[in-house]
Amino acid sequence: MPKFKRSASSQSPAQRITATIIEKLEQGTKPWVKPWRGLPVSRPLRACGTPYQGMNTFWLWMIADASGYSSPYWMTYRQCHKLGGQVRKGEKSTIAIFYKTYEKEVEGPSGQDDTETRRVLKAYAVFNADQCDGLPQMYYPQPLLAPVEPEGRQERLDCFFGSVGANLRHHGCEAYYEPVRDRVTMPPSDLFDAYEHYYATLAHELSHWTGHSSRLDRDLKNRFGSEAYAAEELVAELSSAILGAELGLPVTHLDHHASYIASWLKLLRSDDRAILTAAAKAEQAASLLMRLGGLDERQSSEGDNDLEQAA
């Protein structure tokens, strides 16, 4: 019988948190490590300023990183209102967890009623201060340094990436592509040490963007099954390397993807033709981006044949 994932609404708090962390780790990401710079590091804080403890620390760090929140403060809807603020319309809450202790009457060994202390894990809804308007200024931390645009910005590269036509937003502190929304999210450029690293990261995410059904329709599940995610990341890495060679970008940006190496090794060891398929699809992705960006198109029928043979 096939196994299906339980919906978030039917999962217990512990199951929900564990499943999310496993998903992040399977993607090669340590969900409690931030790859970008610029903001003070703090444990998650309650509205009163008391730090969260235990799993709440790592869980709320992870949610803040994924959502691009810079404030360490979390609060319930009622707490926000008491502070003079208002949760913005459409914002979604996350959970914080706590153990509730209660007494339960049970039958003792001698048959007499006895009292037993039990603990049960509970959850309640919280919002980050960045989801709220009108809170006192202390809830919105200032950057350690004023945002400074890194060196290395080039008009020709701005023109190239702007001509691709992707739905691109600058938000938060994480770079990713959302297939459902068909949108690329990038951290602001001032969170990068050099503009070339910004461009190189953007090239990687745009390589994912090429796989949308309206473009190359790159569905690797039929070819790689459960290894499709690792294969897609490999395609994006190879594609961004090709773009780097064409645009004069460094390859050192690949270092922050080093945690994917183990999954790639597993893929390549289990399938000796996987790298051929990945390279061919990467060439196809890079060619599309170069064409959209206005570079001379170099895709040939020979390249198409290579893709068919590798697949």
pLDDT, tens digit, 9 for 90 and up, residues 252-309: 544 444 456 677 778 888 888 898 899 899 999 999 999 999 986 544 333 444 434 4
For residues 159-163, give the mean pLDDT.
96
Task: Name the pairing type of β-strands 168-170 and 183-186.
Answer: parallel
> What is the pLDDT at residue 284?
95
Span of 7-11, 127-131, 296-300 with lowest mean pLDDT? 296-300
For residues 6-31, give the mean pLDDT.
71
Look over the chain and give the mean of its residue pLDDT values, rounded to a whole number: 82
Do 278 and 288 contact (CB within 8 A), yes or no? no
Task: Name the pairing type of β-strands 176-178 and 132-133.
Answer: unpaired
Helices and strands in the chain, H and E counts: 10, 8
Query: 178: helix, coil or strand?
Result: strand
This prediction has a pTM of: 0.60
Other beta carbons less than 10 A from residue 280's beta carbon: 21
Domain boundary assignment for the chain: 8-139, 155-310
pLDDT digits (tens, 9 = 90+) for 47-76: 999 999 888 988 998 888 778 788 999 999
Write down the residue that tokens 């993807």 correspond to.
257
Looking at this protein, which amino acid is placed at residue 86? Q
Other beta carbons less than 10 A from residue 41's beta carbon: 8
Q: CA 132, CA 306: separation in Å to the nearest integer? A: 53
pLDDT digits (tens, 9 = 90+) for 92-119: 999 999 888 877 777 766 667 777 777 8
> What is the pLDDT at residue 119?
80
Q: CA 187, CA 176: separation in Å to the nearest integer? A: 9
